[in-house]
Amino acid sequence: MLIELYFACVNAFSGQVLYEKWMIAAFNVFFTLFPPLAIGIFDQHLTKETLLAIPQLYRTGQKGKLFNRKTFWTWAGNAWFHCTLAYYLVFQAFKTNVARADGHTQGQWYIGSVVYAVVVYTVTLKAAMVSNYWTAWVHVALWGSLFVWTLFTLVYFTMWKGGAFGNMAAEVYGVSGMMYGTPAYWAVIFLIPIISLFRDFTWEAFRFNFMPEPNDTIRKAELLKGASLAQLLAPMRKFEETGATQDTNEHRGFAFSQAEHQNTENTVSQAELIRRYNTETVEKPDGN
């Protein structure tokens, strides 16, 4: 919706939208729904065997490092950066370009559809970047979303000609033919998502190689074929020495409270309590 705000700034806030109404409704329902759904279900940063062998890794989530205010605003700022590039770069690319064969300039529905396509491609490729575990379903969700968008433009953008649905899609009628028949469209679709995500890719590569979290280091060891448990545990030693994690083998909780606080004054240890218990003088229950 930030792109619509940008467009409102150049149309005197007249209420004119850049996207066709059904395209707005379909964005979160058809074109960007399945990638986060597939990643949320099938993605995993480490195998279950590694997580069971190194339970300290769960400390990352318990300490709120995966999702917090900083993470939220970082993603929000990143989204603002991507949509700003998508809007202004597309408008600059078609500022002097004529898409129609008859020499007439393209209208707002053409530009809006191109911006929309750039956003769909950028969102899908960003989802591919953050995916750690590739399965067949993740591939279907990612590349299937782009296929659904392309199929949508071929069908919906020609629907008005049939007249069966009244004036539905009248604004974007014939836009798909102009888009796919223009070399500038293919250049924009290829270059702008790469330009938008280049900063993301560069930072993630730098962070993963030079400022890795324990999860990242173990993941690199995990990618080595035949990596032993000792190799996987090695990155955790330095992490544990800093006091960032606690020894999960230490017995804690109410059941072990006596042993845990055995050095506390006026506290009887569990072992001493057992030794004090006299089984000869105390009558045992007969079970009746």
List, for residues 63-114, the tens digit of each pLDDT value.
887 788 998 999 999 999 999 999 999 999 888 766 666 666 678 888 999 9
Same domain assignment for residues 126 and 200:
yes
Same domain, 78 and 197: yes
Are 138 and 260 in a shared domain?
A: no
Q: What is the pLDDT of residue 1?
A: 75
Please give the structure tokens belonging to residue 41: 């279900």
Which residue ranges in the chain fall short of pLDDT 70? 97-105, 162-164, 224-288
- Shared domain check, 173 and 102: yes
- The pLDDT assigned to 148 comes to 93
In a domain, 237, yes or no: no
- Burial code of 87-123, b = ≥16 C-beta within 10 A, e = fewer? bebbeebbeeeebeeeeeebeebbbbbbbbbbbbbbb
Residues 109 and 170 in one domain: yes
Residue position matching structure tokens 């279907």:
140
Q: Give the model's pLDDT for residue 249.
A: 46
What pLDDT does 124 receive?
94
Shared-domain flag, residues 6 and 144: yes
DSSP 285: P
Q: Which of 177, 211, 245 is the last residue of a domain?
A: 211
225 three-class SS: coil
DSSP letter (8 states) at residue 284: P
Q: Are residues 273 and 167 in the same domain?
A: no
Give the pLDDT of residue 190.
Answer: 94
120: its two tokens: 């769909």
pLDDT for position 163: 67
What's the confidence (pLDDT) of residue 248? Answer: 44
Domain boundary at 176, 211, 246, which? 211
How many structural domains compose the chain? 2
| pLDDT number for residue 206 | 93
- Considering the domain architecture, whether residues 127 and 188 belong to the same structural domain is answered as yes
From residue 59, how far is each of 152, 213, 288 by CA, in Å? 44, 12, 50
Asked whether residue 231 is assigned to any structural domain, the reply reads no
157 is in which domain, residue-wise?
2-31+68-211
